């Protein structure tokens, strides 16, 4: 891969506030055209990372390259290639949605149509409303609209859908899929793990300023944590077992007890896997999560034979 295929490159990035290390040696690359999610608990360092890459904050150490430029020294031309949706925005103006977008569109050489962007974020009925009179979620839609109006090559989205109603989130996902189709590179943070799973090609999990996992969304976490779970109700007791071969497990179960009640086979969601990773990384965890996973990884044989005394240990 050549350096021109890389939109964002971060090596051993650090950021300190006095003695406090908000970022403690974070390294990752984002390829052009990729949608990359930064996940992690409150205070993990996600916004700090994004704001360093946007040129809003200086780093304390390490290297960063954004569209080939050191973000600490990015000029206006470089900034025009970026779209930015900050975690909290100051948009509360006296101007209308359309006026604000039209003004911003004027800053960019190849801006999108204001009407198209208003439609894409579902604000047609509010286009003539002053921003200060919008609801919180509607204002957030304006933030997203302002982030995409300049047709950015690289779009930073820091918790873009916080405050969105479910329909607005789905509409936002459509917009992101469209931007992906156009080849936009996207760096996204979100606490909605379903959103990260839906939108991102790869994700990194950060906690306490350190990167604890990175990879395609479907391969995060340990192989063990991704093993499917078969769950059913037996004699009024909820049972479950992890199985690499859930079909065979269900067949064995049916042979043993007939049609199982409330039978389900679930693949651990990104949220399940994320929670395990973060619990494992925490200073207070002492590996609790791994231990919990191991304790619940009953052998199929034991569970099916009904010899295990462990009932639904994951509950």
Ligand X SMILES: Nc1ncnc2c1ncn2[C@@H]1O[C@H](COP(=O)(O)OP(=O)(O)OP(=O)(O)O)[C@@H](O)[C@H]1O
Interacting residue ranges for Mg ion, rule: CB under 5 A: 46-47, 87
Closest approach, Cβ 186 to ligand X, in A, equals: 17
- By CB under 6 A, residue 17 contacts ligand X: yes
283 CB-near residues (< 8 Å, 6+ apart) = 208
Nearer to Mg ion, 35 or 47 (CB): 47
Question: How wide is the angle at C-alpha 254 spanned by C-alphas 250 and 257, nearest 5°?
Answer: 130
> Choosing among Mg ion, ligand X, none, which partner's interface includes residue 4 (Cβ < 5 to 8 Å by kind)?
none
46 binds ligand X (CB under 6 A): yes
Residues in region 61-100 near ligand X by CB under 6 A: 87
Closest by CA position to 112, among listed 169, 68, 150, 153: 150
- Whole-angstrom CA distances from 12 to 134, 155, 209 are 41, 22, 11
- From the list 6, 22, 149, 270, which residue makes contact with ligand X (rule: CB under 6 A)? 22
Is 42 a residue that touches ligand X (CB under 6 A)? yes
For residue 138, state whether it binds ligand X (rule: CB under 6 A). no
Distance between CA atoms of 162 and 86, rounded to whole angstroms? 11
Q: Which is nearer to Mg ion, 60 or 87 (CB)?
A: 87
Task: Give me the residue whose beta carbon is nearest to Mg ion.
Answer: 47
Query: Distance (Å, rounded) from C-alpha 241 to C-alpha 263?
Result: 12
**Among candidate residues 155, 64, 58, the one with its CA nearest the CA of residue 108:** 155
Query: What span, in angstroms and rounded, lies between the C-alpha atoms of 100 and 94?
Result: 9
**190 belongs to the binding site for ligand X (CB under 6 A):** no
SS3 of 109, please?
coil
Contact with ligand X (CB under 6 A): which of 47, 184, 249, 289? 47
What's the distance, CA 72 to chain centroid?
25
Name which of 20 and 181 has its Cβ closer to ligand X: 20
Closest to Mg ion by CB, 118 or 211: 211
Going through 220-307 in order, the beta strands assigned E by DSSP cover 229-234, 237-242, 261-266
Stretch that binds ligand X, among 38-46, 102-110, 279-287, 301-309 (CB under 6 A): 38-46
For the bound state, the minimum distance from the C-beta of residue 81 to ligand X, rounded and expressed in Å, comes to: 24
Quick one: 199 exposed, middle or buried, by C-beta within 10 A (0-12, 13-18, 19+)?
buried
Least distance from C-beta 265 to ligand X, angstroms?
Answer: 33
Residues from 293 through 312 that contact ligand X (CB under 6 A): none
Footprint of ligand X (CB under 6 A): 17, 20, 22, 40, 42-48, 87
């Amino acid at each position: 891969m050549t350096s021109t295929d890389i939109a964002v490159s971060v090596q051993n990035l650090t950021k300190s506030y006095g003695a406090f290390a908000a970022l403690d040696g974070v390294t990752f690359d984002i390829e052009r055209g990729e949608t990359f999610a930064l996940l992690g608990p409150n205070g993990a360092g996600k916004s700090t990372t994004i704001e360093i890459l946007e040129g809003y904050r200086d780093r304390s150490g390490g290297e960063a390259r954004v569209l080939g430029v050191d973000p600490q020294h990015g000029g206006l031309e470089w900034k025009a290639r970026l779209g930015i949706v900050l975690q909290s925005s100051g948009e509360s103006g006296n101007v209308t949605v359309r006026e604000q977008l039209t003004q911003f569109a004027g800053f960019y050489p190849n801006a999108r149509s204001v009407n198209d962007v208003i439609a894409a974020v579902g604000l047609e009925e509010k286009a003539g409303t002053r921003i200060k009179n919008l609801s919180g979620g509607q204002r957030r839609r304006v933030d997203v609209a302002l982030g995409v109006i300049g047709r950015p090559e690289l779009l930073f989205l820091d918790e873009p859908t916080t405050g969105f109603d479910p329909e607005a989130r789905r509409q936002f996902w459509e917009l992101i899929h469209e931007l992906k189709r156009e080849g936009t590179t996207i760096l996204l943070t979100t606490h909605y793990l379903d959103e990260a799973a839906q939108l991102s090609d790869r994700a990194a999990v950060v906690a306490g300023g350190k990167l604890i996992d990175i990879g395609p969304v479907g391969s995060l976490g340990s192989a063990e944590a991704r093993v499917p779970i078969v769950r059913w109700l037996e004699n009024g007791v909820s049972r479950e077992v992890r199985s690499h071969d859930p079909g065979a497990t269900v067949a064995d179960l049916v042979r043993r007890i007939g049609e199982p009640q409330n039978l389900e086979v679930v693949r651990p969601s990104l949220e399940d896997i994320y929670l395990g990773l973060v619990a494992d990384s925490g200073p207070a965890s002492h590996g609790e999560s791994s231990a919990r996973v191991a304790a619940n990884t009953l052998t199929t044989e034991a569970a099916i034979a009904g010899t295990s005394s462990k009932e639904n240990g994951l509950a």
